Amino acid sequence: MRLPSQRRRFSQSLLGVAASIAAPRLSQAQAAWPEKTVRIVVNGVAGGAADVSARIVGDALATTLGKPFIVDVRAGGSGTIGTSEVLRAAPDGHTLLVSVNSAMSEVPHSVKMPFHPLNDIKPIAELYQGALLLIANNEVPARTLAELIKWIKTQPKGVPYASYSPGTASHTLGVVLAREAGIELIHVGYKGIPPAVTDLMGGQVPLMFSGVSTSIQPLKAGKFKAIALAAPTRSEFLPDVPTFAEQGYPKVEGLTWMGLWASAQVPSTILMRIRAEVDKVLKRPDVAEKFRSQGASAPRGLSPEALSQLLAREYEQMGTLLKSVGYKPE
């Protein structure tokens, strides 16, 4: 018969054996990733910022790890289609998501989602950060914010502006600018940046809030013009474009970041492995240059936990902003 102290020692020894057996299994699972083709689902349209980002990172990881990385564009549903596709897949790290942060922090205030954006899907790494830019087609008779506001006030029915999706910063920044400047702006929501920019250049809509990364090349080609940057400081890629704050409107600010995400059910050891490999490729000069050529600023290197905390704050802030301007889902 074992005494209580002997039983405790025996139980502890069993726990130690179990832990020693489990630990190698976890590390082996972590080391084995990827065991097959990895699918990167894109929240966005073909040719958009998320698509380009997924291909840059996927190609680099495929070269490094010797496994295929395929990009699967799933546009529509304000990001719910792509995210849902990832959550339906086996949570083994072989189905990932590339998405802008607004799909989790902004869109849920406008669209009913079949998942919880802060609990069911988790950020692994920030791929780049950026800011939104107010752009105008070449028919708009203004080059500065002051000239633009003056012109809008002469339009009896207001002036339309495009967003890449209702309820995102590309939409709400127009609401804030209209309130701060005392002008009438009419929102026109699109499903992604490319169709909105196409209509802007075609003259169907005069204004738009768009990302620097997706605007920089057409700007350099003279396809449209930049009015103001919604960031605390000027962009290194567009140093001649003043911020809204510089022009008297500090409340018009909208920063974005592109992230790599996974189901929250993926084991933490696999997530750690993915993060480690992504960190390696993001530090490669060729990968960094590809992002820079798109007008994307380097990621901040925030941990997954810090990104989740940031996302929760952004979600709360956007909800407060939408409520303050009386926004109602369209």
Mean pLDDT of the chain: 88
The answer for residues whose C-beta is within 8 angstroms of residue 128's C-beta and 6 or more apart is 53, 213, 257, 258, 291, 296, 297, 298, 299
pLDDT digits (tens, 9 = 90+) for 159-208: 999 998 877 889 889 999 999 999 999 999 887 788 899 999 999 999 99
Amino acid identity of residue 139, one-letter, is E
**What is the CATH code of the structural domain delimited by 31-130+256-324?**
3.40.190.150
Report how far apart, in Å, the C-alpha atoms of 14 and of each of 10, 19, 79, 184, 309 are.
6, 9, 47, 71, 38
Q: Does 132-247 match 31-130+256-324 at the fold level?
A: yes
Q: Are strands 69-73 and 38-42 parallel, antiparallel or unpaired?
A: parallel
Amino acid identity of residue 182, one-letter, is G
The answer for residues whose C-beta is within 8 angstroms of residue 309's C-beta and 6 or more apart is none
* pLDDT of 23 strictly over 90: no
* pLDDT of 4 strictly over 70: no
Residue 31: predicted pLDDT: 59
Which DSSP category does 94 fall into? S
Domain boundaries, the chain: 31-130+256-324, 132-247
Rounded CA-CA distance 188/183 in Å is 16
Fold of 132-247: D-Maltodextrin-Binding Protein; domain 2 (3.40.190)
Range with lowest mean pLDDT among 68-72, 108-112, 171-175: 108-112
